[in-house]
Structure 1
């Protein structure tokens, strides 16, 4: 049926309980994810993707973009900042200034933690050109272990967060029936010149640069497990030839929170019409 995606059978009881009011939805944690893009001489526009290890509680085995939940310390106001202000990001994502600051910091921090790509530099108009080596790895591990905050990391290295290198792209909330939920803002960014995305995340067992159209088609066919936001984002990005084109594209941020239903005794996810079309194309 158009606009319906089959959910795992083991979710049927959970869907029925939530729909009947017998179970309360789990609160959604604020999170950020970043689609890191590059221009390849032969393959054109590419996005960096990770495959989550199958032991993960959320989306095991799924192909995703770097990202994760907001750390309470991501809102530290003292860190050096260049580019659109938290207030401007809040306007783009319909969030208050504190949450907007947290989301942008989480986006930059998580991208570094999971891919080595760091959207920060010594000044507001420069960016670090290489994040490989033992010292950078020690910092990455300290961020992962939460023994240092993102603001402390930037301050100690004398770096400025470059919010101007990010663009707002989408806003998705995990369906109410899921046992683990996130309220996620999607960003896009170009990989800075000189940096290399690495397969460093312990939450992933594979990393790859892929053409958005090819990855979206693999997701639609079920060859690569993907959540609807990932398929939709890849499908949208497949319309662009270059990173510059994607970054220059105007975006109206709409909040998507797919609902779940029971049809003929089986659980399904109901996709909004404009999202369902991404599953029909390709």
Structure 2
């Protein structure tokens, strides 16, 4: 049976307002998509695997004040990555696409992680995790690959971007508990990714995992009690 998760829209007033306006518009159309990549940098902590996260500044047009993994949109220059780059063929196989199709996402992932955290990765460091698409009602939408990588030895992740105001290493369970309590804001892909990380005892086990990857698009659904949720069928 396909697992289904639901994310209450009411947790984010701005999200709820956009969702209601989209549903009320008889001429509504899906917003355009931009390609993007994000990376779960993981390491072992004293109590299990940890992941590096950042909180976006309140002024961001997309996902303000939201806890995310380092990442961003694919730039034109990212399409120039050589399809024969070491590690790209294995990553593409895990993603279920050709090396040529995987190349711009891998390039964007490596570039964005360095720009936003100062951490230098190689394409061979990357592991495929998931493929999510922003819901249709959002004006800013992304077709995003979620990748993962081990924190390289001898490097330090730090805040190097003006797009976030807080960053650090966290255990998945701790961040999920804060999200459930309404203390932090996260998007469904981040929540699900953290749940998956929390199922492993160490970073190596998580990085060795090869999940089945399929394109995931959350659907806006109104329950019988009137509550709006984002309903997601996972691979």
- In structure 1, what is the equivalent of residue 9 of structure 2? 6
What is the CA distance between 1:75 and its match in structure 2?
Answer: 1.5
- In structure 1, what is the equivalent of residue 76 of structure 2? 72
Inter-partner Cα distance in structure 1 for 2:166 and 2:6:
30
Which runs of no fewer than 5 residues in structure 2 stay unpaired? Answer: none
Q: 1:236 aligns with which of 183, 191, 196?
A: 196
Of the two, which has the highest radius of gyration? Answer: 1
Q: Count matched residues.
A: 226
Inter-partner Cα distance in structure 2 for 1:265 and 1:240:
36
- In structure 2, what is the equivalent of residue 39 of structure 1? 44
The alignment's TM-score, normalised by the length of structure 2, stands at: 0.88
* Alpha carbons of structure 1 residues 210 and 190: separation in structure 2 relative to 1, 3 Å: same
* Alpha carbons of structure 1 residues 16 and 114: separation in structure 2 relative to 1, 3 Å: same
- In structure 1, what is the equivalent of residue 228 of structure 2? 268
What is the CA distance between 1:265 and its match in structure 2?
Answer: 9.1
What is the CA distance between 1:217 and its match in structure 2?
Answer: 1.9
Residue 99 (1) aligns with residue 98 (2): no
Q: Would the aligned equivalents of 2:219 and 2:232 in 1 still touch at CA under 8 Å?
A: no
The alignment's TM-score, normalised by the length of structure 1, stands at: 0.74
Q: Would the aligned equivalents of 2:43 and 2:50 in 1 still touch at CA under 8 Å?
A: yes
* Alpha carbons of structure 1 residues 208 and 216: separation in structure 2 relative to 1, 3 Å: same
What is the CA distance between 1:221 and its match in structure 2?
Answer: 2.4
Inter-partner Cα distance in structure 2 for 1:28 and 1:71:
14
* Alpha carbons of structure 1 residues 29 and 267: separation in structure 2 relative to 1, 3 Å: farther
Residue 210 (1) aligns with residue 217 (2): no
RMSD over equivalenced CA pairs, Å: 2.2
- In structure 2, what is the equivalent of residue 195 of structure 1? 155
Inter-partner Cα distance in structure 2 for 1:48 and 1:4:
23
Q: Would the aligned equivalents of 2:83 and 2:99 in 1 still touch at CA under 8 Å?
A: no
Q: Would the aligned equivalents of 2:128 and 2:146 in 1 still touch at CA under 8 Å?
A: yes
Inter-partner Cα distance in structure 2 for 1:96 and 1:74:
16
* Alpha carbons of structure 1 residues 273 and 25: separation in structure 2 relative to 1, 3 Å: closer
Q: Would the aligned equivalents of 1:258 and 1:269 in 2 still touch at CA under 8 Å?
A: no
1:1-282 maps to which residues of 2 (within 5 A)?
3=6, 5-7=8-10, 8=13, 9-11=16-18, 12-17=20-25, 20=26, 22-40=27-45, 42-78=46-82, 81-85=85-89, 88-119=90-121, 162-263=122-223, 268-272=228-232
* Alpha carbons of structure 1 residues 103 and 221: separation in structure 2 relative to 1, 3 Å: same
Inter-partner Cα distance in structure 1 for 2:128 and 2:92:
10
- In structure 2, what is the equivalent of residue 137 of structure 1? none
* Alpha carbons of structure 1 residues 216 and 4: separation in structure 2 relative to 1, 3 Å: closer
Give CA deviations for 1:89-121 in whole Å, capped at 9, x if unaligned.
4443344543310000001100001001111xx
